[in-house]
Structure 1
Amino acid sequence: MLELSILGLPTAFFAGIASFLSPCVLPLVPGYLSYIAGGSVAPTVSSAEARIARWRILGLSACFVLGFSLVFLVLGASITAIGRLFLSYRYELNIVAGVIIVISGLLIMGVVRAPLWTQRYYRFESKASGGNPWSAGVLGIAFGFGWTPCIGPVLGGILALGATAQTLDQGMLLLGVYALGLGIPFLLSAYFMTPFVRRLGALRRTGRYLRIVTGVIMVLMGIAVASGQMVRFAIWLLRTFPVLGNIG
């Protein structure tokens, strides 16, 4: 669990943030928030009513985040279960997972061009009207499935790492932290909607830098996984940065 805590969990969290800031997610966040809220997300009413409205939107957005988090938790459990079926081929599994993680990192950085199918999403229309927890949760589940091709390079690397986890709990924890990294910015953008819209351009630029950093980390982690040096790498990080021992 040591190498998963020190390496996997922070990487999964920042990978989730990078997914939120990706070109195929970030520009569509205001539209999603508007649907979740059942209309305008920038009420022009008194400050007290606006504050109540913001908390209401935040609550509905939390239902949305829970929806796609459930999808990622199921994916994490499933990929870990599949990985455990090949315990007798753990060496080969680590090599394959490491290669996938390295390729994912290169895709995130833009060093390797992603296939066209990873730049699209599948949109699921909900028949329920927005503005209630049920529709927000259903939309979150649809988001989890529909945006999987779009965030595929990031999610694929995290899933590959999850396949090497020793237990289902570890795999679900890894994907849960990824969902947390994706969900927290969404909740912040829901509560601070007006400043969020004004700073979309700056967030796009920040997203580019974050994707590069995340990509480099994933490439290094992929090499460590493929070479079987994850534990040694984790111990080196722990000695170099003792604060990492508080993670997990």
Structure 2
Amino acid sequence: MLLIVLAYLGGVLTIVSPCILPVLPFVFSRAGQPFMRNGLPLLAGMALTFAAVASLAAVGGGWVVAANQYGRWLALALVAVFALTLLLPHLSERLTRPLVAAGSRLSESVATDGTPRMGSSVVQGIATGLLWAPCAGPILGLILTGAALQGANATSTLLLLAYALGAATSMAAALLLGGKVFAALKRSLGAGEWLRRGLGAAMLAGVAAIALGLGTGVLARFSITSTGGIEQKLIERLNKPLDGEANLARSIQEPATPPAEGPAMLAVGDAIRVAGPSGEASALPDEGIAPSLDGATQWLQSPPLTNQSLRGKVVLIDFWTYSCINCLRTLPYIKAWAEKYRDQGLVVVGVHAPEFAFERDINNVTRAMKDLGISYPVAVDNQYAIWRAFKNQYWPAHYFIDATGHIRHHHFGEGDYAESERVIQQLLKEAGSSQTATGLTEVDAQGVQLAASMNEVRSPETYLGYERAENFASTPKAVHDRSAAYVGPERPELNTWGLVGQWVVGPESATLSAPSGRIVYRFQARDLHLVLSPGPKGKPVRFKVSIDGKPPGDAHGMDAAADGSGTVTAQRLYQLVRQPGDIAEHTFSIEFLDAGVSAYAFTFG
């Protein structure tokens, strides 16, 4: 329920978003008509169409994107016709006759007296819903990302519908107010015809703005109103009761803290304690029969495993993805447990559920597994079938299954390794193992797998794609899906970042379209990582890292030299900074000498 409220409030805020401006004339074209017969049908059609199209786009493939593009142009043409009927009454009469003759009441644009009918309001609402492209602030980014991973289900569509109804509510209020203003002007000025034509001209201007991409480009660039900060504060406010939980998992939703309720998970603070201070074991609860692993698109290093074939074994399911820094830091323990307890009846199964598109590539996954030294079975879950079966929400997430096939414990995120190992030991004893080890594993992690220094981290995970980007400080504001020249912030504040040079900002990443582009970030943490992809066809991209304008020296990460130089050769996470000694705020900069590189997300440790 909390997420539905959050989605609704996020929709309400869109009325002040710059990219809603081109749509407003379509709504206000009904301002002079009865609300129940004209305004309400329009807003209902708009909300329902947006929810349907957004649901399909979140879970569909390229065909959905292409279909939506054609749909947008058809909708633009339809709305342009509506605008012309307001401007030109004679055109309205001509258009109406063949529609009436065909018996198409729903498609009838206007009556012969120029007064819009309910059917035309619905049609215009559907067209407006296709054209509606609100700024993807934190709340809509949360919903769309969750929908993409959860798949086509009622919850995803309900959240999108709540968002759309929130926007419709704020626009309904504006429409009711606009109707009163419209009626007052007609009475005082006697200028109903001119007002109607003015609305027609405004609608045509809105069509032109959307066709030229001004809704998400020029208008956003000059707007002094941004909903992103308001939405982020709203998210943080509603998630405040969960603040302070240590080592939270990297969630599919933003920010990376668990929702307050939902069918998918228990909060981190509810994790079951299985050993007291003296190490004695306590009873583990039964969390239900483990879901099937049948949904994997491919199995690596093993034939397909089933619940039946695993019966009698203790199973540890590890949801991970190879560019996730939280997953990488848990791997030393997962690998150690797989080796230590293999002969005693433990089977570790990695479920690789991709976050970014490049993580769906089997070659990338197998290369990463080899580099990371993963030898246990891995189920490739590119369609998120296993993810949904477990109702999972996090990277990493660990589910502990006993020999009878029941989930007995779970843990989300990093940390609590001693507790998790005691769970394994207890389940092995329950399964009848007579030689279960009792000591706890110590690991010597290196590189990116070294545990984070969380008490020094003040910078959050930050995405560069516009669907989830926050705190972008370059000029102009991000232009979606088109190449633009950016000027970076001269003195960025903590946790703000920017682009310098010619970049294309896409949904997932920012791609450099000309050589010598930079990314800057003001951060505070021991480690700084950046998920990067090389140029087309894997062409290497050279880069140069600096900290406060100087080479990193002994603060360089494992993927950068002391002079800051390095090369992007694969689609993965790169460790660029690891600071020794005291940690303070610094300005990080990475300059790419070659075009084609794509940057996805900053993470810290």
TM-score w.r.t. length of structure 2: 0.24
The structure carrying a bigger strand percent of its residues is 2
- Between 1:161-170 and 1:176-185, the stretch displaced more is 161-170
- Structure 2 residue aligned with 1:16, among 11, 17, 20? 11
Alignment of 1:46-125 (within 5 A): 56-78=34-56, 81=59, 124-125=76-77
**Separation (CA, whole Å) in 2 of partners of 1:211 and 1:80:** 21
Deviations 1:21-54 (A, max 9, x none): 212324753x3244235xxx2xxxxxxxxxxx5x
- Structure scoring higher RCO (CA < 8 A, sep ≥ 6) equals 1
Runs of 5+ consecutive residues of structure 1 not aligned to the other structure: 42-52, 84-120, 198-206, 237-248
- The answer (yes or no) to whether the contact 1:9–1:174 under 8 Å persists in 2 is yes
Aligned length: 168
Cα 1:211–1:81 shift into 2, 3 Å: closer
Partner of 1:36: 30
- Between 1:58-67 and 1:20-29, the stretch displaced more is 20-29
**Separation (CA, whole Å) in 1 of partners of 2:56 and 2:260:** 28
Cα 1:143–1:155 shift into 2, 3 Å: farther
Is the aligned partner of 1:215 residue 2:243? no
Deviations 1:89-142 (A, max 9, x none): xxxxxxxxxxxxxxxxxxxxxxxxxxxxxxxx9771433246112222122122
User: How big is the shift at 1:165?
Assistant: 3.9
**Separation (CA, whole Å) in 1 of partners of 2:130 and 2:259:** 33
User: How big is the shift at 1:19?
Assistant: 1.6
**Separation (CA, whole Å) in 1 of partners of 2:131 and 2:164:** 15
Cα 1:233–1:76 shift into 2, 3 Å: same
Runs of 5+ consecutive residues of structure 2 not aligned to the other structure: 62-71, 82-108, 183-223, 240-248, 268-605
- Structure 1 residue aligned with 2:162, among 158, 164, 177? 177
- The answer (yes or no) to whether the contact 2:59–2:151 under 8 Å persists in 1 is no
Amino acid at match of 2:143: I
Partner SS for 1:25:
helix
Cα 1:192–1:77 shift into 2, 3 Å: same
Is the aligned partner of 1:25 residue 2:20? yes
User: How big is the shift at 1:179?
Assistant: 1.1
**Separation (CA, whole Å) in 2 of partners of 1:22 and 1:63:** 23
Is the aligned partner of 1:186 residue 2:186? no
Partner SS for 1:230:
coil
Amino acid at match of 1:124: L
User: How big is the shift at 1:173?
Assistant: 0.6
Partner SS for 1:192:
helix
- Structure 2 residue aligned with 1:134, among 113, 119, 144? 119
Amino acid at match of 2:258: M
Deviations 1:181-211 (A, max 9, x none): 01111212222226789xxxxxxxxx94754
**Separation (CA, whole Å) in 1 of partners of 2:149 and 2:36:** 35
Cα 1:230–1:147 shift into 2, 3 Å: same
Partner SS for 2:18:
coil
- The answer (yes or no) to whether the contact 1:81–1:168 under 8 Å persists in 2 is no
Amino acid at match of 1:151: C
Partner SS for 1:36:
coil
Cα 1:230–1:139 shift into 2, 3 Å: same
- Structure 1 residue aligned with 2:258, among 230, 242, 246? 230
TM-score w.r.t. length of structure 1: 0.52
Cα 1:17–1:142 shift into 2, 3 Å: same
Name the larger-Rg structure: 2
Amino acid at match of 2:29: Y
**Separation (CA, whole Å) in 2 of partners of 1:160 and 1:191:** 34
- The answer (yes or no) to whether the contact 1:58–1:187 under 8 Å persists in 2 is no
**Separation (CA, whole Å) in 2 of partners of 1:177 and 1:230:** 20
**Separation (CA, whole Å) in 2 of partners of 1:26 and 1:177:** 21
**Separation (CA, whole Å) in 2 of partners of 1:209 and 1:195:** 28
Is the aligned partner of 1:151 residue 2:135? yes
User: How big is the shift at 1:224?
Assistant: 4.5
* % identity of equivalent residues: 19
**Cα-Cα RMSD:** 4.1
Partner SS for 2:52:
helix
Amino acid at match of 1:36: R
Partner of 2:497: none
**Separation (CA, whole Å) in 2 of partners of 1:158 and 1:73:** 11
Partner of 2:288: none
Cα 1:159–1:172 shift into 2, 3 Å: same
Amino acid at match of 1:25: I
- The answer (yes or no) to whether the contact 1:68–1:143 under 8 Å persists in 2 is yes
Partner SS for 1:159:
helix
- The answer (yes or no) to whether the contact 1:77–1:169 under 8 Å persists in 2 is no
